[in-house]
Structure 1
């Protein structure tokens, strides 16, 4: 009876691909489940991929005074003939000073408080309330119109509350009466306006105040805009007795949001607005 000669051992290079495939399948199976346990595969490739993901990057650093100033728009960002001024922080418009007539809100007296807050905040340049961190402000003039632009850091809960308040104003304060210190009446109207879809949240308003200034009838028209980027925000008031140019408000909102996003990402905003998409 003859014996079959023994089969030579299979070369290891044939088994290597199969073993490698088995390892890959095992790793894939582990990654499909809960990766928080001690048996999680931890390869160099996976670590590199995860660390480069935007979701894994650290949160933006808090806004600094220098960052807030860098995020401000400039003359180059605005269309038309806007000129930057140095006294914007002292701007106040007397037509915004008045006491809301509560009689206009017989069935919704809480709305009167919201409308009073709008007048007060527009006058004091604190549209979104007091900042909790760094802030910066600049202003521009074009004829009789003024554009006030602010960037600031806020407490998240307070900022959410302020945006909810702004969104409610076109309904709560669509038209009401305010009285000045001498009893003169002013008619105030508030309507919603559109803004470029920039930032995490936004709200635009058109506020008109009809009354008297210096003994003559006058109408103050303001474009009001607010944009939130994380816990930082931009606020804009633009207009005057000759009306408000909404295109300038939109331009400031669009380019200003891009500048703030650059600052939050640790980048230097472009000096040329044409470089921003």
Structure 2
């Protein structure tokens, strides 16, 4: 008589199942100990917040507020040499009257050009619309040193408007490299626009030097202005500085290097120090 063979297959399956279960249990245990499991990553079931929330680091906010724009302004101490801050109302009046020495630079820049793009540029040099009208928060600071003036603006823009304006600025050294501006008094002024390098800050940037030569009350006058624009997201810093004594590259570079990180800090939800005091 043949003796029946033991039923080994079911036993093998049972052993394999038990081994798999033990492996899963070990993996789960290991994940809990090392912090690699889902619950360890999220803190679920332990009453803990995610690690980055527990650090107290503020989450970035790309929206520029009015307070943020004011905090992002530079101070006189952050510009090289001996600049003095003026009130915001005085800085805004520079678009209409900008007396540098014995020359009203704002009036000197007022005139007509046959090239629309060049006309737009001269109209906006000491205005707040070089990049178009801000779509959101905006703040302005003005500084003076002898016969030189510096206008510093921080503002939020519509993305398309800002991108178009940055592209337009890049074309000016070619389209407006040299043109004639006819003043209200009929006087002729020669204007030259040259591209200049500025510190590599922000997401995009453009630097220009604008030189205006002509006569004022029978005396030859040369007005030199440095322009620097730095884009950070949908926000931008605009610096215009110079006068009849020229424009200092080091001043422009200092304003860009000091100002861009301030704007980036504000957009990250932090308040840069020292805090800017706006003079009304």
TM range (shorter): 0.7 to 0.9
CA contact (8 A) 1:185 1:211 kept: yes
Q: Distance in 2 between matches of 1:45 and 1:114?
A: 60
Of 102, 109, 121, 1:96 maps to 109
State the partner residue of 1:74: 75
SS in 1 for 2:125: helix
Q: Compute the displacement of 1:124 (Å).
A: 2.7
1:135/1:118 Cα in 2 relative to 1: closer, same or farther (>3 Å)? Answer: same
**Structure 1 residue 114: Cα displacement:** 0.8
SS for the counterpart of 2:170 is helix
- The offset of 1:58, in angstroms, is 6.6
Deviation string, structure 1 residues 104-148 (Cα, Å, up to 9, x no partner): xxxxxxxx1111110111143321111111111011111111111
CA RMSD of aligned residues (A): 3.2
Separation of aligned partners in 2, 1:148 and 1:45: 52
Sort the Cα spacing of 1:51 and 1:204 in 2 relative to 1 into closer, same or farther, 3 A.
farther
User: Which structure's CA Rg is the greater one?
Assistant: 2
Structure showing greater relative contact order (alpha-carbon pairs closer than 8 Å, 6 or more residues apart): 2
Cα gap change, 1:201/1:45 in structure 2, threshold over 3 Å: closer, same or farther?
Answer: farther
Q: Which deviations, in whole Å up to 9, do the C-alpha atoms of 1:217-254 show, x marking residues without a partner?
A: 10110000111111111101010000001111011011
Aligned-residue offset at 1:63:
1.2
* DSSP-derived class of the 2:255 partner: helix
Q: Is the 8 A contact 2:60 2:269 kept in 1?
A: no
In the alignment, the residues of structure 1 paired with residue 261 and residue 236 of structure 2 have an alpha-carbon distance, to the nearest angstrom, of 12
The unaligned stretches of length 5 or more in structure 2 are 31-36, 44-49, 96-105, 276-280
SS at match of 2:212: strand
Contact 1:97 1:123 in 2 (8 A): no
| Aligned match of 2:158 | 155
- Counterpart of 2:229 in structure 1 is 226
What is the CA-CA distance between 1:52 and the residue it aligns to? 4.9
Cα distance, 1:217–1:231 mapped onto 2, change above 3 Å: same
Whole-Å separation in 2 of the counterparts to 1:69 and 1:229: 16
Q: Is the 8 A contact 2:156 2:236 kept in 1?
A: yes
**Separation of aligned partners in 1, 2:19 and 2:83:** 74
**Aligned-residue offset at 1:255:** 1.0
Do the aligned residues in 1 keep the contact of 2:59 with 2:268 (CA within 8 Å)? no
1:22-171 to structure 2, matched below 5 A, reads 43-45=38-40, 47=42, 52=52, 60-86=61-87, 87-92=90-95, 93-100=106-113, 102=114, 112-171=115-174
Structure-2 residue corresponding to 1:38: none
Paired residue for 1:182? 185
1:21 to 1:144, Cα distance in 2 relative to 1, 3 A: same
Question: Contact conserved, 1:121 with 1:129, CA < 8 A, in 2?
Answer: no
Secondary structure of residue in 2 paired with 1:199: coil
Instruction: Give the drift of 1:95.
Output: 1.7
Cα displacement (A) at 1:43: 2.3
Partner of 1:192: 195
Equivalence map 1:235-274=2 (5 Å): 235-271=238-274
